[in-house]
Amino acid sequence: MIKSGSYENSEGMTADNVAVVVAGLPRAGTTYVWQIVADILGGGVVKTHNYLDLPRPIHLLVRRDPRDCAVSHWRWNKNRTEPMTYEEMVHWAAYYAKYMVHYRHWALCKPLLLQYEAFWDAPHVLLDSWGRALPRPSASRWIELVSKHSMEANRKVAATVEQGQFDPETLIHPDHVHEGTPGTWKRFVRDPAIFTKLFEPQMKELGYQ
């Protein structure tokens, strides 16, 4: 099996050395899902934000409100407190619109859908979402995994990582974890109606309207 990790392309991958692809828009929660699945399976678990032409592996497609994704990405490594400017809102709407091309390809792979808003504070929902497609850990093992990869644990890892680097075991980078609460985007835009209008096509396609 290929080493579990984050990949931008399918170089070196085959139908036999990849077991699971964890895919989603940037800042949608893919790292968290990858951490748990990679811990359960060991090797062969790929995290990506790009479509990889690997139709056979199990695809876990993580969805999150694109407005929250965009604000989280905008805040990354900047410790921002001021609202987005209109130009920044337009920029991030366009940025995420480009990623929808990948989403359309993932959707053709018959993925198991994982909703960030459902599992962010209730990790057991992940087990229900992927059902029998993946091995089910024991109750004690599941408690261990949830604790090991909690937001607080990931926040501590992020504090030890140098700028421009990431922790290869967890894929955590500096300032990786913010609040994570759904709807946080509302605190960082001056006009929620305009922001929502800019993201309307992505929201509709992702099922957020």
Q: In terms of Cα–Cα distance, which of 28, 32, 47, 25 is closest to 95?
A: 25
Q: Which residues pair with 115 in a beta bridge?
A: 63
Band (15; pLDDT cuts 50, 70, 90): confident
What pLDDT, in 10s, does the model give residues 34-63?
A: 999 999 999 999 999 999 988 688 999 999
Listed residue (174, 172, 154) closest to 164, CA to CA: 174
Question: Is it the case that residue 76 has pLDDT exceeding 90?
Answer: no
Find the distance separating the first CA and the last CA of the chain, reported in whole Å.
39
Q: What is the CATH number of the domain that holds 25?
A: 3.40.50.300
Per-residue model confidence (pLDDT) at position 77: 60
164 or 202, higher pLDDT:
202
Count of Cβ atoms closer than 10 Å to residue 185 Cβ: 22
Query: Any idea which of 76-85, 88-97, 110-119, 140-149 has the lowest mean pLDDT?
Result: 76-85
- Please tell me the distance from the alpha carbon of residue 206 to that of residue 209, in angstroms, as a whole number: 8
Q: What is the span of the domain harbouring residue 12?
A: 5-206
Is the per-residue pLDDT at 79 higher than 80? no
- How many structural domains is the chain composed of? 1
Cα separation values, 77 from 72, 74, 158, 162, Å: 10, 8, 11, 11
Give the model confidence (pLDDT) of 108-118 as tens digits.
989 999 999 99
Summarize the confidence of residues 146-153 as an average pLDDT. Answer: 94
